[in-house]
Amino acid sequence: HMLAALTGEKRSFAPAAYVCDVFDSYSARYEESLVGNLQYNVPEKLRLLVDETSGQTSFTQVLDLGCGTGLCGSRFRSIACTMHGVDLSANMLAIAREKNIYDLIFEADIVSYLMSSDAKVYDLILAADVLTYVGDLNTLFTLVNRAARAEAFFYFSVEKLFTDSEGMILRKSGRFAHSASYVSSIAKKTNWRIVAAEEVNLRKERDDWIRGTLFAMTKKQAT
């Protein structure tokens, strides 16, 4: 995957084995590095965006995709009656379990998990710093929609691609970036309506900020 990133090879997603290896090896220092050194605060920003745009103070069933150690889930536990977490990394999930944030935790690839059930059960779905490992968003958005109740919300972050010429690219970092127009086009195809889009600093990288966009979407009513 990193060879593809460095040579400019076209890819539509990061392989599950790559993502799992990265985060299993990173788990012990993950929070200290990401929050302490890289000044990452996307979960707090997503929570503020939910409070400002959803019109709701609580949710019946929340799904945290790519939940990791529970950084995002911990910000939403107080407004979730039930919360599920999904992640590939066993080591990251071991840390999340110790925090007792989630009612259920699933060790799985997020696409595989979403494909495993046809139940429309979630009214809030979160993906903080997860779509950076998913290039082509069409399948993911379709499956998230299938798992969502009527008028459910989907909040997520992407690394910002400043040109619309390609829609999404695999950067030399091994992470994907997406343009706003690309996200908008996929959302329209997969029955989502964008409620808000906010450009933010995601985290530091070599003393520079990685710019990103937070999106708030709601599931369209069936016609």
pLDDT per residue as tens digits for the range 110-147: 999 999 876 779 999 999 999 999 999 999 999 999 99
The whole-chain average pLDDT of the chain stands at 89
Q: How confident is the model at residue 90 (pLDDT cuts 50, 70, 90)?
A: very high
Please enumerate in sequence order all residues whose Cβ is within 8 A of that of 177, keeping only pairs 6 or more positions apart, or say none.
Answer: 132, 158, 159, 160, 161, 168, 169, 171
Contact 150, 219 (CB under 8 A): yes
Q: How confident is the model at residue 26 (pLDDT cuts 50, 70, 90)?
A: low
Tokens of 146: 């299938």
Tokens of 179: 């343009």
Contact 169, 176 (CB under 8 A): yes
> Residue 190: what pLDDT?
96
Give residue 73's Cα distance to chain centre: 12
Which region holds residue 151: left if phi is over 0, alpha if psi is between -120 and 50, else beta? left
Q: How confident is the model at residue 2 (pLDDT cuts 50, 70, 90)?
A: low
102 burial class (0-12, 13-18, 19+ CB within 10 angstroms)? buried
- In the block, which residue shows the tokens 């919360």? 83
Q: Does the pLDDT of residue 7 top 80, yes or no?
A: no
